[in-house]
Structure 1
Amino acid sequence: MARNTNDKWEELSRGVAAFLDHAVDESGKSRRTIAAQTNINKDALRRILAGTRSATLPEALAILDASGHAPRTSLMLALAGYSQRSKDWQNSGVLEFLETFISELPSALDQALGERLLDVRPRWAKGTAHRTAGLLSDHLAQLERQDEQSFAL
């Protein structure tokens, strides 16, 4: 069991390192500049990006921030195994949307549910995520219809 857990951790660590390396490469900044902005020794940064040394959480967040990513959301996606999705969404505004969405969700849940929040079940998460995405899709479709009506006039 421990072997399997170690293999998963190593694979995840390699994925995070590759994601951080990609973020730095796509930033247009030199590694020396990223090292200076993050206060990470340039040799330590090189090892982190090569995957020979794991980044600490503060280091990973600092690297992503210096690279122009939404750091918390980017790292969360990378840790969940969605590094490629985070790369794909890097310049689309989706990461910033998710960053704000996740930051606002606890307050929104408290406000909307109050004491009923304690009745929420983990098994509802997937369906709720799909329902939320559907609501967002409906909202975008409504905005598109309004734009079409505005141009038709």
Structure 2
Amino acid sequence: MTQSRQDKWGEASRGLAAFLDHAVGESGQSRRTIAAQTNINKDALRRILAGTRPATLQEALTILDACGHAPRTSLMLALAGYSQQTVDWQSSAVLQFLETFISELPVALDQALGERLLDVRPRWAKGAAHRTAGLLSDHLAQLERQDEQSFAL
């Protein structure tokens, strides 16, 4: 592995450790309770949260689940470098929305595109994400207008 790649893995591992530590701290549960719920030895959990021992994928998922996070989405965002957004969104429904959205997306793409799915290009992803966010914004605005109209009656 090249030095640059090792640096990136090390940075991701440290970021994940800091995120997991924050999730445990914000969960309102003791580390001992989290260790018991996840079946991770309390000393191993301490080292994971300190960043001196990397977490396995399964360990990270179970820690996040025990903390009340949407585990797959939280982990994906943390590994992609968006740990702070995960923290910011922790007390909202956004993480659960993303968890369901990402889980449903492959089926929705397959149903909507069928054989044309093979024509999809990676470069379209950013635009598709922005378009989806725009559609959600429009939908929320429409719901707000409907609420205002129902209160006006």
- Normalised by the length of structure 1, the TM-score is 0.99
2:47 alignment partner in structure 1: 47
Root-mean-square deviation (Å): 0.8
Stretches of structure 1 that go unaligned for 5 or more consecutive residues are none
AA aligned to 2:117 is L
Q: Displacement, 1:10?
A: 0.8
Alignment partners' CA distance in 1, 2:55 and 2:8 = 16
**Structure 1 runs of 4+ with >6 Å offset:** none
Alignment partners' CA distance in 2, 1:119 and 1:135 = 23
Alignment partners' CA distance in 1, 2:110 and 2:6 = 37
Alignment partners' CA distance in 1, 2:46 and 2:10 = 18
AA aligned to 2:64 is L
1:36 alignment partner in structure 2: 36
AA aligned to 1:130 is H
AA aligned to 1:102 is I
For 1:4-153, list aligned pairs within 5 A: 4-153=4-153
Q: Displacement, 1:2?
A: 1.1
Partner SS, residue 69 of structure 2: coil
Partner SS, residue 22 of structure 1: helix
Partner SS, residue 53 of structure 1: coil
AA aligned to 2:39 is N
Partner SS, residue 99 of structure 2: helix
Partner SS, residue 111 of structure 1: helix
Alignment partners' CA distance in 2, 1:125 and 1:151 = 39
Alignment partners' CA distance in 1, 2:36 and 2:93 = 27
Q: Displacement, 1:138?
A: 0.1
Q: Displacement, 1:141?
A: 0.2
Q: Which moved more, 1:4-13 or 1:77-86?
A: 4-13
Q: Displacement, 1:78?
A: 0.3
Stretches of structure 2 that go unaligned for 5 or more consecutive residues are none
Alignment partners' CA distance in 1, 2:88 and 2:5 = 28
Partner SS, residue 68 of structure 2: coil
AA aligned to 1:75 is L
Sequence identity percentage? 86
Q: Displacement, 1:43?
A: 0.1
State the aligned residue count. Answer: 153
